[in-house]
Amino acid sequence: MKMLLRWDRESAGRDVLDAIFPNQKARKAAEEMVRTMKGNHGSLTNSQMKEFAISLNEGIGAVKYSYRNFYAYVLKKMVDLGLVGRDVPLWSAAARRTVWGYSLRRLKIPKRPPGEEYDFWKAAWLMARSWNRLLDGGDGTAG
């Protein structure tokens, strides 16, 4: 799978979602999804994700984004990068059973960046740290 990520020395201080989604509408849809998932203990069931995608399609909330494009582009890219887990078992108190859904994943990285020079590994580490900061309640900037 071919994936474009824009992350270099100049962009290292930006939000990780800027690097993943160069399209502004897709980035806003991803931000809204992360915000919704964080408000729901970091996860959404399959039906909740469907309702969220429908609300994006109808323009309810901060951004109007196509249902099909959300699943095919935004959610798929985040699952492929390992930022969101798919088919995660979740306990539903209302249904009193286990249901399947999506969950935000905190990336496991070392405390210090690898190496002295700026290369692929350092860029990957900076992106992972930016993602973890976004999940921890920060603004998601790598700086």
Q: For residues 29 and 21, give the distance between their C-alpha atoms in angstroms, rounded to a whole number.
A: 10
Count the domains in the chain: 1
Strands of the sheet containing 84-92, edge to edge, are 43-45, 97-104, 84-92
Q: What amino acid is encoded at 13 in this protein?
A: G
**Which pTM was predicted?**
0.84
Structural domain contains residue 14: no
Contact call for residues 90 and 41 (beta carbons, < 8 A)? no
Residue 1: its pLDDT value, please?
A: 47
Structural domain contains residue 10: no
Structural domain contains residue 80: yes
Residue 140: its pLDDT value, please?
A: 56
Structural domain boundaries, residue 38: 22-107
Structural domain contains residue 143: no
* CATH number for position 83: 1.10.10
Residue 52: its pLDDT value, please?
A: 96
The per-residue pLDDT string of the chain (143 residues; one tens digit each, 9 = 90 and over) reads: 455 555 565 555 568 898 899 899 999 999 999 999 999 999 999 999 999 999 999 998 889 999 999 999 999 999 999 999 999 999 888 889 999 999 999 999 999 988 888 888 888 898 899 999 999 986 655 55
Structural domain contains residue 3: no
Q: For residues 108 and 115, give the distance between their C-alpha atoms in angstroms, rounded to a whole number.
A: 17
Residue 141: its pLDDT value, please?
A: 56
